[in-house]
Amino acid sequence: QIARLLCPALINCGFGLLYCADERIDIQDGLTEKAAAVISGNQLNIVRSRFDIFVLGDSAALNPDSAAASLVVAPETADAAIINSFKPKSVVSYGICGKNTVTVSSLIDSNLVISIQREIVSLSGKRIVEQELKSEIKSEDDIDPVLACVSVLLLLDVPIETIEKSDIFPAASRAY
């Protein structure tokens, strides 16, 4: 479900996309320097490389030796041993619990207010301070995927103003 939101969001923010949710995506005009790969969990046993950012979903069950990452984005339910197996420099946690790095401040109807609970350092070293941003969702099932996607976009230096646009997550937005 994260890939369903993250792939279009990355494309909408100008990132070239290499792979998404078990289906190869061919890029006709090559890649920009802003390229991302989104790989589903069942592909991890064949991918043995280092990632800048690795996103764990709620039901992540993977081979701990399959990958390494500088930054890990993980749900509050993620197994600490799995997170630590990536040997990350930093972990951004997401979920509805107030202890997470990226969490829900409020949800009224379809209006989601997302809270960044503590400073995040992006892949480029930019510091993102504690603050709130807004998003729209179709259902409560979209909360965790939206939180994960917001975390990734922040780590990739996508401005908050861009993330708050209603069309950044077309699969979760009421506009679609």
Based on its alpha-carbon atoms, the radius of gyration of the chain, rounded to whole angstroms, reads 15
Measured at the alpha carbon of residue 87, what is the angle toward residues 81 and 92, in degrees to the nearest 5?
80
Q: Taking all residues of the chain, what is their mean pLDDT, rounded to a whole number?
A: 78
* Segment 126-134 long-range contacts (CB within 8 Å, at least 24 positions apart): 126/157, 128/154, 131/160, 132/105, 133/160, 133/163, 133/164, 134/164
Q: Which of 47-61, 84-98, 155-169 has the highest mean pLDDT?
A: 84-98
Q: What DSSP designation does 13 have?
A: T
C-beta of residue 150 within 8 angstroms of C-beta of residue 133? yes
What percent of the chain lies above the pLDDT cut of 70?
A: 68
Q: 55 falls in which pLDDT band (50, 70, 90)?
A: confident
Nearest to 85 by CA among 50, 115, 110: 50
Spatial separation of the C-alpha atoms in residues 50 and 103, rounded to whole Å: 27
What pLDDT is stored for residue 26 in this prediction? 46
Q: Give the pLDDT confidence of 113-122 residue by residue, as tens digits.
A: 999 999 999 9
